[in-house]
Amino acid sequence: MSGSDCGRIYIWKKKGTTLVRSMIGDRHIVNQLEPHPYIPVIATCGIGKNIKLWAPSSNDFLPFPPNVQEIMESNRQAREDHSRITVTPDVIMRVLRLHRRQALTYIQRRYNTADVEGDEEDEFITAFSGDVSSEDGNSRECSIS
């Protein structure tokens, strides 16, 4: 099962990935789709605040919309257009190093009570509040290393 940006719910066969059912789930987007683990009920939600519950109520099968292939192709193209943002390995490594450095700093501050009670903490806070000016230029400049 999957939701889509066109507001439809798609139910697929596990083997062979053949489309079994296509239903209108929301006017805009179906963001979340969760089946109940034991009974035939599906919960869906879009960008609004409403949660919709779905349960089978008829033995009749509705046919697919005549343009189901165009709808799925449009969804595929939109998904590919959103995935064209490329991030270089250098940027990824910088973000990972920054994350690691922040985590280590958090751990050091959490377990080292001497730093919390010391003057270094006050200097750190004062530097970020703008009370200390830098000799090299503007104290509000940020350099990433």
pLDDT at 132: 47
- The 3 state secondary structure assigned to the chain is CEECCCCEEEEECCCCCCEEEEEECCCCCCCEEEECCCCCCEEEECCCCCEEEECCCCCCCCCCCCCHHHHHHHHHHHHHHHCCCCCCHHHHHHHHHHHHHHHHHHHHHHHCHHHHHCHHHHHHHHHHHCCCCECCECCCCCCCC
Of 14-18, 58-62, 120-124, least confident by mean pLDDT is: 120-124
Look at residue 33 and tell me whether its pLDDT is greater than 70: yes
How far is Cα 80 from Cα 88, in angstroms, rounded to an integer? 18
Q: Which residue has the higher pLDDT, 111 or 120?
A: 111
Q: 123: Cβ–Cβ under 8 A, 6 or more apart, which residues?
A: 132
Q: What is the mean pLDDT of the chain?
A: 75
Query: Which of residues 98 and 76 earns the better pLDDT score?
Result: 98
**How confident is the model over 51-74, as a mean pLDDT?**
81
